[in-house]
Amino acid sequence: MRLILIALLLMALPGAAFAQSSPAEQTMMRTVAAEHDRHIALLETLVNQNSGTLNLAGVRIVGDRVRAELEPLGFEVRWVDMAETGRAGHLIATHAGPGRNILLIGHLDTVFEADSPFQRFERSGARATGPGIGDDKGGVVVIIAALRAMQAAGTLEGSNVTVVLTGDEEKIGSPSSVARRDLIAAGQAAAFALEFENLALDDGAEFGTIARRSSTNWTLTATGRTGHSSGIFNDTLGYGAIYEMARILDGFRRNLPEPNLTYNVGVIAGGTPAAIDAEGVNATASGKTNIVASTAIARGDLRTLTREQDDRVRAGMQTIVATHLPRTEAELVFGEGGYPPMAPTEGNRALLARLNAVNRDLGLAEMAEYDPARRGAADSGFVAADVDTLGGLGVAGGGAHADGEWIDLDSLVRQSQRAAVLISRLSLGAE
């Protein structure tokens, strides 16, 4: 039965196109297909170990399991402890070689904490569900499968590869300058960066990710004089905090819109008093209809495509905030850290062209650029300013961050084959 499965997987590559690849690349194709069951079993093991970002022990266990895969391939593996940021840490593996350094990015943690009811890997044919199965444990398995195929083909021996798997991608530790210090350094040393988050799909077509938007939180606090509502709008009481908040948010809506920009308001409260917890999640307020509100608080996020757009929009938001209604004040504070944008660049487009050359040689459909407004932020944003970066090289699936998250197990083969050939060609300078 296993031999039949391997044969079917290899038959998915048209013979004429398969012949365009080198003997070493053909070995990679066969190795990935032959090890498909192995990698599904590995994925099941990783998924069944809870590694919610705040489950520090669970994240470390997943890291140890990945270490056991990479060390036999000749990687020097180290664990970077992140107790300073309140997180488990990161796994960094290096394979020294004379070729150009290729940085492979993924993450060990998931959004599903230990108290989530969604905890187990389940399979039905070529479809499997599980917490973090696509985001990003499937991507981690793609990295491992690709590197194993490269070893079997002899291309790993001369490759210079760095793997960085963060342990807090879903909830970055603070300060972010420490939390992403090692990833940023790896990006500065790399010739190319490949990120293994979920493959972008639309109506069955597969797309390349050359850009992602940023993600930064903000908190807006408005204050005003409180008193009996009969005095609202007069020179003594002014407009109160809630009207000031409404003015600002409506100013955002009317004055800021532009392509690839969003600024969502996720939670809001106003009254006398109003407050929000330290995590910025639970807001409380009380008041009466005949009392002018003293405080209003809103929390939201900002997503931009480039650093220039980010700087411009932040300045625009602050300008709107600064024009206060009578007898009110307001302050807009942007959160520490967040994800920088992975801006679309010609270098990123050139990487996608290299991937499409691989697709042609393997008989796979070429990939167009995916709309960055439809992608979330990712760790690739921390390196994209320093190195040409291509994202979305993980598995195909859906439902990320929700119960029932799923992947197409056949895409594990396809993506691993693509990755093995692409990494080999980039590292060795082949076109």
User: What are the b/e assignments for 292-313, b being 16+ CB within 10 Å?
Assistant: bbbbbbbbbbbbbbbeebbeeb
- Which of 139, 76, 82 lies closest to 108 in space, CA to CA? 139
How far is CA 94 from each of CA 72, 77, 91, 160, rounded to the nearest angstrom? 12, 7, 10, 8
Find tokens 């402890």 and name the residue. Answer: 81
- Which of 294, 427, 422 lies closest to 361 in space, CA to CA? 422
pLDDT band at 158 (very low <50, low <70, confident <90, very high): confident
3-class secondary-structure state, position 405: coil
Residue spans per domain, the chain: 2-213+341-428, 216-334
Query: Mean pLDDT of all residues in the chain?
Result: 94
Total H helices, total E strands in the chain:
12, 19
- Which of 350, 354, 420, 383 lies closest to 189 in space, CA to CA? 383
Residues 43-102 have pLDDT tens digits of 999 999 999 999 999 999 999 999 999 999 999 999 999 999 999 999 999 999 988 999
Supply the pLDDT for residue 428: 82
CA pair distance 237, 235, nearest whole angstrom: 6
**Would you say domain 216-334 falls under CATH 3.30.70.890?**
no
CA pair distance 212, 306, nearest whole angstrom: 9
Q: Which two tokens stand for residue 128?
A: 């499997």
Torsion 402-404-407-409 (CA) sign? positive
pLDDT band at 431 (very low <50, low <70, confident <90, very high): low
Give the strand pairing for 205-208 and 368-369: parallel
Asked if 400 contacts 203 with a C-beta cutoff of 8 angstroms, the reply is: no
Query: Has residue 130 got a pLDDT over 50?
Result: yes
- Are the folds of 2-213+341-428 and 216-334 the same? no
Helices (H), 110-234: 138-153, 176-179, 181-189
CATH code of 2-213+341-428, in short, is: 3.40.630.10
Residues 349-359 have pLDDT tens digits of 999 999 999 99
Query: Has residue 6 got a pLDDT over 50?
Result: no
Upstream peptide bond of 14 is cis (omega within 30 degrees of 0) = no
Identity of the residue numbered 161: V
How far is CA 8 from each of CA 33, 111, 138, 285, rounded to the nearest angstrom? 9, 35, 21, 61
CA pair distance 144, 161, nearest whole angstrom: 12
Q: Using a CB cutoff of 8 Å and minimum separation of 24, what contacts does 282-288 make?
A: none
Residues 259-317 have pLDDT tens digits of 999 999 999 999 999 999 988 889 999 999 999 999 999 999 999 999 999 999 999 99
Burial of residue 357 (number of CB atoms within 10 Å: 0-12, 13-18, 19+): middle
Supply the pLDDT for residue 236: 95
